[in-house]
Amino acid sequence: MGVQMFDNAGFPEFSTMFDLPIVIHEFCHPFVDNLTAQNRELFRESGEKMSSDAINEAYTLWEAVLDEVLVHASMIKYMKDHDFGQPEIEMWINMIKGAFGFFWIEDLVDELEKYDKQRDKYPTLESYMPKLAETCKIWAEKS
C-alpha cells in the first residue's frame, strides 16, 4: 500500500473509500488466519471446492482462499457496522467477486451477521467456527 494522493501542501491524503477498507482488511488477517489455521480440518472439503471456484491465481491453496474470503467478509461486515455508504460497500463486493471469484462473499457476510446476532450462544468467532464450517459445506455443495 502506498500513497496515491497528496494535498496542495504535499501531505499524503488517504481515501476512506479505497485506503481504509484495505487497512481494515489487513488488520483482520491476524485474527482470521489464526482461527482458520486452528480449524483447517473443519473446512478442508468445502475449502477445496471453494478454492477450485475462485478465479484469482494468487491464491492457489484452499487455505489461502479460506483466509482471504473470510477476511474480505470481515472487512465488509466492518464497513456495514460502521456506516460506510451502500455504494462503497457494493463497489467492494463487486470488486471482490470480479477480482477473486469469491461469488459467495455476500452469503458469508450474511453468515457473519447471523453470528453477530447470536453472541449470547457464540461469544467469540472461534466458538462459531464449527457452525461456519457447516454453512461452507452447504455452499460448496451448491456450487
% of the chain with per-residue pLDDT over 70: 94
Alpha carbon distance 35, 15 (integer Å): 30
The domain limits of the chain are 13-142
- Whole-model pTM? 0.87
Q: Residue 6 pLDDT > 90, yes or no?
A: no
pLDDT tens per residue across span 47-78: 888 777 666 566 778 898 889 999 999 999 99
Phi-psi region of 92 (alpha: psi -120 to 50; beta: other; left: phi over 0): alpha
Q: Which residue type is seen at 14? A: F
Per-residue model confidence (pLDDT) at position 96? 93
What is the enclosing helix (H) or strand (E) of 13?
strand 12-13
Contact 73, 112 (CB under 8 A): yes
Per-residue model confidence (pLDDT) at position 138? 86
pLDDT tens per residue across span 18-28: 788 989 999 99
Contact 69, 50 (CB under 8 A): yes
Per-residue model confidence (pLDDT) at position 52? 74
Instruction: For residue 122, give the 3-state DSSP assignment.
Output: coil
What is the enclosing helix (H) or strand (E) of 5?
strand 5-6
Per-residue model confidence (pLDDT) at position 70? 94
- pLDDT confidence band for 114 (50 / 70 / 90): very high
Beta bridge partners of 6: 12
Q: Which residue type is seen at 5? A: M
> Who has greater pLDDT, 142 or 121?
121
